[in-house]
Amino acid sequence: MDLKNLLNKEQYEAAVTIDGPLLILAGAGSGKTRVLTYRVAHMIKDLNIYPSKILAITFTNKAAGEMKDRIRELVGDEVDSMWISTFHSSCVRILRREIDKLGYNKNFAIYDSYDQKVLIKQCMKELDINDKDITDREIINKISGQKDDLVPPEQFKRENEGNFRVNKIADVYLLYQKKLEDNNALDFDDLIYKTVQLFKSHSDVLEFYQRKFKYIMVDEYQDTNRSQYEFVRLLAQGYKNICVVGDDDQCIYAWRGADVKNILDFEQDYPNAKVIKLEQNYRSKGNILKAANDVISNNAHRKRKVLRTESESGDKIKLYRAYSDIDEGRYVASRIKEMLKENGKRQYKDFAILYRTNAQSRIFEDVFMKSNIPYRIIGGLKFYDRKEIKDIMAYLKFINNPLDDVSLRRIINVPKRSIGDSTVQKIQNFADSMEESLYNVILDVDEVLNLPKRSVNSIKKFVSIINTFIKNRDKIPVSSLIREILDITGYLEELKINKEADSISRVENLKELVSAASEFEATSEDTTLSAFLEKVTLVSDIDNFDDNANSVVLMTVHSAKGLEFPVVFMVGMENGIFPGIQSLDNVEEMEESRRLCYVGITRAKEQLYMTSAETRRVFGRVVAYEQSNFIDEISRELREYDTVKKNSMNNFSDRVLDKNTFSWTKKVTPNNLSNAVRTPAVNSISNENCLKPEGIKEGIKVKHSKFGVGTIVSISKNGSDIKLTIVFDKMGIKNLMYGIAPLEAV
């Protein structure tokens, strides 16, 4: 294989360096997937390394699928002997073979976030913990963090006995983990946590997988948390042939445990490591890359690299400052319409709207619907999160694992079969007292509990139906099993006769579930029910991203990582939104926000727009934030304000930020943030009407060009300026700086 003619110099060096530890620092759009693909092909075709000796780990099923397809094009079906999968999928595969050594059955269930929440609430109820004192979300996040850090519940309990609140969470952790074991279930965090536990407690198992995987490759290494890091470290101890690929500048998941130190400290973990930087970008125009370099260079904790391209400079980054968030949405819609008209080759799918939080999508959804712009949201309600889908999936989970009490409780009276909540709770209490599963109890329900005859008959009928499904589980395809469930339980019939408005769409969703199962059977080697449940449970939102769907994409910057679009709108670029308020006085959080901005910028191939609004409604109140500091970090020659003709859209601003209209005279920094809301100084106020410093007194009335009439209730010095707290008649309380606020004396 002539790699020298297929790859650039740095890519080639990375592809042919096989033995020993290797760190590939791959900048955005530098062709890292291409490098990994050819690296594997070189190992198999040129070095005759058995594919089964190679483990390649990615973070999404989509990335794993793409890598496998590309390697197949080079080496053929030999790729099927390799493990190319996500961390979670790799660990599930190991646990299916070995988990009995930890006391679980091999047909364990994998609990999704809904199942986890149900079980946590059950634990809270048993421990008499009020959700108003400690929320289930707080407990789930804390337990998840402990598992990511490989802290077992017993240790967590010992370390926090002196902290009343955390000690309560430790009690939930202990009970929750016991219930998971009783249900023969693992949550998402357990998949890696338990695999590491298995490796550490059974050296023979670890040695087997060390011998099996002589060569290990990990993509997106900057996103690994402690448990993922430890999983890789243990496997790599055997031969030290570990290749990690990543970009510390794209570490944007600290909030879910990712530790950028894993990639920054790689050379300390592996002293003989070779480091190769991929800095040639093949995605973006020159000005976009320069803007990305400008922003990220302000981070102190990073490995220095500068993206370069042979592509032309392209357009400057277009900035737009709207009057309001509604105007911002209209501006984006207008620009999309104009570009479609001006460039006949443009399609809706060429445009992406990137924001920092999902809540920001609403304005754009409203505007796009009114403008007849087709759109799709990545990160909204997922297909497998819909009620009717979760109901049938619960049937499948329970049929596969009859110890799964959470799934049983969901389906025992769905559709309704006269088994009420009080009856289920009585059975649950009895099962707990006997330390039995719910299913074992209801198998002999008439012998163990004094229940109404109607309830007993309903339970017996339910048991009979379930037993039929369990008998057929391994005899018929999953798609046929789903059809049987829909038919025999009466679930589909109940929907068809239901008069609710969404009944038709729910029936269509269930048909789509059958189609998904049929597709799974046609494309998977392992077509068992367990394999189907694994595939569905481990799917991420980005795995369902369809490159060919012709619609504008709305998504968070976090979700956009790994994707690229010809035209990108980064919206809500304001201090307080992007970066968020918390980042403004925290150096580490500001660096992560800046990395997130860098990721957003480098999603754009040809054109990049960055928009902000003078005012927007946040949690029901109108706020005003100044333009994002990240925009200021981009060199002036790379950016320009977009001017829009007034008659080109409704109520859009055609104003440009310059000294003749309005300007920001102060920059938000950790030192001057305080609680002040920055407001633009407008020079339309005459000198005689302008509020004079000597006229500033508590209790006087003033008028603001946007907020109207208000009363000064507090005055305080802020550096060389004066901060005024004003209660406006119609806009509530605002903190304004006198030096930049357009205030008139009344």
Residues labelled catalytic: 32-33, 219-220, 250, 603
26 is in an annotated binding site: yes
Torsion 472-474-480-483 (CA) sign:
positive
Q: Are 136 and 124 in contact (CB under 8 A)?
A: yes
d(CA 614, CA 612): 7
Angle (CA) 287 289 293, round 5° = 115
Q: Which residues pair with 704 in a beta bridge?
A: 708, 743
Residue 464's alpha-carbon distances to 87, 439, 442, 451, 609, in angstroms, are 39, 12, 11, 18, 61
Task: Give the rounded distance of the alpha carbon of 294 from its chain centre.
Answer: 26
Q: Are 324 and 615 in contact (CB under 8 A)?
A: yes
d(CA 245, CA 273): 13
d(CA 390, CA 378): 20
d(CA 514, CA 482): 7
273 is in an annotated binding site: no
The structure tokens 């460039």 sit at 343
Q: Which residues pair with 244 in a beta bridge?
A: 23, 218
28 is in an annotated binding site: yes
The structure tokens 């799709």 sit at 376
Non-local (6+) Cβ contacts of 429 within 8 A are none
d(CA 447, CA 136): 36
31 is in an annotated binding site: yes
Non-local (6+) Cβ contacts of 650 within 8 A are 330
d(CA 213, CA 90): 12
Q: Widest CA span of the chain, in angstroms?
A: 92
86 is in an annotated binding site: no
Q: Which of 263, 243, 244 is nearest to 252 (CA)?
A: 263
Give me the count of residues in the chain. 746
d(CA 249, CA 535): 31
27 is in an annotated binding site: yes
Token output for 14: 């990375």
End-to-end CA distance of the chain: 81
Q: Taking the CA of residue 418 as centre, how many other CA atoms within 13 Å lie in the half-sphere pointing to its CB?
A: 11
Q: Which residues does the annotation place in the binding site for ATP?
A: 26-33
